Chains A and B, each alone.
Chain A
Amino acid sequence: EPEVTQTPSHQVTQMGQEVILRCVPISNHLYFYWYRQILGQKVEFLVSFYNNEISEKSEIFDDQFSVERPDGSNFTLKIRSTKLEDSAMYFCASSDAGATYNSPLHFGNGTRLTVT
């Protein structure tokens, strides 16, 4: 079964450093997402991406965050200057037909980001 893959599985960084989290969505999917989950809390939406542009973003997704699809397969999340509160599990997800068409999300295994 096709999978969403994320790298790295764990990233440790110092406050103020830039990090790039990488994802390879399922190949025929068109909608891409980043979610995060702080330990013990709910899964929170960050951003959705379709047709090479952001389709929606949450309040969490401020100017320090950016997303990119640099080639036909990768989908990246960049955090420019990490803060302690950015420590969380970051999940990439993809779907084939988007949120309004009963098309479910398929998640990667996540990247655990630890900011020290």
Chain B
Amino acid sequence: RKEVEQDPGPFNVPEGATVAFNCTYSNSASQSFFWYRQDCRKEPKLLMSVYSSGNEDGRFTAQLNRASQYISLLIRDSKLSDSATYLCVVNNNYGQNFVFGPGTRLSVLP
């Protein structure tokens, strides 16, 4: 099983739509979880950390289910500027290492 897996995508949605991304991780001892976004040929940028109780930042909501080793990201009222690849990132608790998922590409269409 791969360390971090994500919905393969791509997701093509109209402006204003709600879209959800899923991520699973294999290391049950992982403690730190993040969503990053990456624009084409650019560096990953932190979108939000994911906390145990779930957290929201404007139109973005992240959820963590430790029992199922599952993380989700919900984007409401999608904007054209949300078009990017969304990366699920989890720490490898055996060391100082963050593991990236393969990413899910989102295209928001006018």
Contacts and interface: CB of A to CB of B under 8 A. Distances in A.
Contacts of B32: 99-103
A108 B43 contact: yes
Given A100-B31, A104-B34, A105-B98, A43 B42 contact: no
Interface in B15-34: 31-34
Interface stretch (A11-19, A44-52, A66-74, A78-86): A44-52
Interface string A37-70: 0000111110010100001101000000000000
B102 A42 contact: yes
Interface string B34-77: 10001001111110010100000000000000000000000000
Contacts of A45: 97-100
B61 to A, nearest CB: 18
B91 interface: yes
B55 to A, nearest CB: 11
Contacts of B46: 104-106
Contacts of A48: 95-97
A43 B87 contact: yes
Contacts of A7: none
Interface-centre pick from B33, B49, B98 (highest chain A CB count, 10 A): B98
Nearest to B101: A42
Contacts of A100: 31-32, 91, 93, 96
A99 B49 contact: no
A102 B31 contact: yes
Interface of A: 31, 33, 35, 41-45, 48, 50, 55-56, 58, 89, 91, 98-110
Interface of B: 31-34, 38, 41-46, 49, 51, 87, 89, 91-93, 95-103
17 contacts: A33-B98, A41-B102, A42-B100, A42-B103, A43-B87, A43-B100, A45-B100, A48-B96, A56-B97, A99-B91, A99-B92, A99-B93, A99-B97, A102-B31, A102-B51, A105-B98, A109-B43
